[in-house]
A and B are shown apart, each in its own frame.
Chain A
């Protein structure tokens, strides 16, 4: 039995399938037939290779492998991860525990290079996290870069992506939401000293980093704005959100 789960969403040119054999064995298959899609899948293979080494060092078989390769076609297969998914639409507050676990996971797995950079997942959202008895499992490595962004970028992205869904229609972040973000930044900073901009104005840092380095994700920024909703915040909005977070961080210090 096979099921199409996702088809070229956000212009990634990748189709994702769930295959279930009669024995109950499950696997994920991803295919691409355009240069963009094939590049994304190659990154996915690379990302899984890195993550497997860090997260499942004892495991011998690759979690992700190339199944079929042609001049203009690529198919990869992935081990299926059983577990629960968080509902990102529930926002930060009701996902507090999931967010906490994800940030802890990042601190545990992600190394920091001497220059302060770290491997980049590039789409670390609650949608791409699976939770089970063995903890957190990160999936969807299509944007992986071995040495991409400052250490801490991915979890900041996670926090603001989750926040965005609750406040996109002009609402202000609640006190509790601000607290979760500030506390998470505190946790990250204790693990590994963050760049000062990531503490002083974290959202502006995110928006600027993505805008300047959009090539890490996609060749053309405009096509990409759907993928990165936080880029739709106005500069005023960004600055007011940053101010409340900074205030809260000062309180905590």
Chain B
């Protein structure tokens, strides 16, 4: 059992959290904010603490919409799963509710402390959490039926602690060693090794050629214009000039993701187009299918319920690109189900 293995190998921190000793930091919250959020959990529920300190995270953490893609894994309920880069556990919890066991791995201890509290509130007893660097995690040779890599692959080439608000689009002079793609393949190889014969990977990531990036939406990882689809060398130069560091958050096309996964050892890959994005999917459609009955997924209203011009333009562009032109290549996000 994975659970026994974790318990024997690693130090228990609290609840179901274990540590490999190689803690890091990656969060949308600053360290201080994260500390505050977790410190009140003794006398507050996770929902209350989010409402009080970070209400904007409420749907990101708790919305049941987040797990809408997991059904693509054709789950029976008997699976042992691993969620790489689980953070606050939107998908960890969704998996735990319907599978046998889930191991959530993340480098950020305070994210795991929050998730640990949430798991307790939900009454889930089939989750273990491991704090450590995803790239250095030990080999669980053939142990998992399901692996989840949700919005994580593009961050694999990063290093050092990241407080996203201070990092995203901000100058932070940094050097990297190695080629981003190589590191991504290396990581996916581990993911592959850890799956058993019938194992499947759920991978979700933005499309490098998301139609919105051509219309002036900034790169969701660097906050720069056009960097995702420009040739990597040019993106490097742009990022170097503005942010003082090379561009490493590499995204891929549908073909690119397919090639990456095959190179990492996966024998088969099913590709899906995901609208309006993989975080909050409304429609997930096989890449092989036609977009015959495509319906608009960008809502005309923003989070505050107001109809905005930007939203309207987005919705029109979406309609033209997919309903009229059926240009699948430019779908906003990619979901891949990869088979060992």
Within 8 A of A (CB), among B259-303: 280-286, 288-289
- Shortest C-beta distance, B286 to chain A (Å), equals 5
B74 within 8 A of A: yes
Q: Which B residues lie within 8 Å of A4 (CB)? A: 68-69, 71-72, 281-285
- Please, how many angstroms separate the alpha-carbon atoms of A2 and B73 in the complex? 10
- Structural contact, B65 and A7, CB atoms closer than 8 A: yes
A54 within 8 A of B: no
Q: Which A residues lie within 8 Å of B65 (CB)? A: 7-8, 15
- Shortest C-beta distance, A66 to chain B (Å), equals 13
Which of A29-37, A44-52, A136-144, A195-203 participates in binding chain B? A29-37
Q: How many residues of chain B get a CB closer than 8 Å to chain A's CBs?
A: 26
- Structural contact, A33 and B69, CB atoms closer than 8 A: no
- Please, how many angstroms separate the alpha-carbon atoms of A85 and B64 in the complex? 28
- Please, how many angstroms separate the alpha-carbon atoms of A3 and B68 in the complex? 11
Chain B contact surface mostly: loop
Residue of B98, B124, B286 with most partner-chain A CB within 10 A = B98
Within 8 A of B (CB), among A15-34: 15, 17, 29, 31-34
- Structural contact, A3 and B286, CB atoms closer than 8 A: yes
| Given known A7-B65, A33-B98, contact A70–B77 (CB-CB < 8 A) | yes
Q: Which B residues lie within 8 Å of A170 (CB)? A: none
- Please, how many angstroms separate the alpha-carbon atoms of A98 and B280 in the complex? 34
- Structural contact, B98 and A73, CB atoms closer than 8 A: yes
Within 8 A of B (CB), among A49-71: 68, 70-71
Q: Which B residues lie within 8 Å of A234 (CB)? A: none
Q: Which B residues lie within 8 Å of A37 (CB)? A: 64
- Structural contact, B281 and A7, CB atoms closer than 8 A: yes
- Structural contact, A68 and B282, CB atoms closer than 8 A: no
- Please, how many angstroms separate the alpha-carbon atoms of A29 and B74 in the complex? 11
Q: Which A residues lie within 8 Å of B280 (CB)? A: 7
- Please, how many angstroms separate the alpha-carbon atoms of A72 and B74 in the complex? 18
Within 8 A of A (CB), among B80-133: 94, 97-98, 122-124
Q: Which A residues lie within 8 Å of B284 (CB)? A: 3-4
- Shortest C-beta distance, B110 to chain A (Å), equals 25
Q: Which A residues lie within 8 Å of B64 (CB)? A: 8, 13, 15, 32-34, 37
Pairs A–B under 8 Å by Cβ, sample size 18: A2-B74, A2-B286, A4-B72, A4-B281, A4-B284, A7-B68, A7-B280, A8-B63, A9-B282, A15-B65, A15-B71, A17-B71, A31-B98, A33-B64, A33-B67, A71-B123, A72-B124, A73-B98
- Sample of 4 more A-B contacts, CB < 8 Å, known A7-B283, A32-B64: A1-B289, A4-B281, A70-B97, A72-B122
